[in-house]
Amino acid sequence: MQLLFLVDDTDSILTLGASVLEEEFRVLTMSSAVKMFTILEKKQPDLIVMDIEMPEMNGYEAIAKLKENPEWKDIPVLFLTGFIDETVQNRIKELGAVGVLGKQEISTELLSKVKDLI
């Protein structure tokens, strides 16, 4: 079974996202990008689903750090955010993310989006 990391600083998003994805994937949830990097030292996921706006290290900073590491640079990243506009779309493309999904779409679109990406 494929492993996904779900990274968000909001417990309700972690709970909802995990409940949707656990039907078909193994899901590890973590409340920050800093925690994600600690876990990456031991396990590598097939996909990272990550919030953009987080304390300590935001999603943009986290994907930049991922891309700098040869062992992690090819892990696909799908961003979650509460607001998507052209600036967000352009920024995630520049950084090499595979897509973005609005948090309001988690219950309806997350599973199919993840299946398309893996």
Rounded CA-CA distance 108/15 in Å is 15
What Rg, from alpha-carbon coordinates, does the chain have?
A: 13
The pTM of the full predicted model, rounded to 2 decimals, is: 0.95
Residue 15 phi, psi (nearest 5): -65, -50
pLDDT for 42-62, tens place per residue?
999 999 999 999 999 999 999
Query: Is 90 exceeded by the pLDDT of residue 30?
Result: yes
What's the mean per-residue pLDDT of the chain?
94
Mean pLDDT of the region 98-115 = 92
- pLDDT-derived band at 7, boundaries 50, 70, 90: very high
pLDDT at 50: 97
- CATH numbers and ranges of domains, the chain: 3-117 (3.40.50.2300)
Mean pLDDT of the region 11-22 = 96
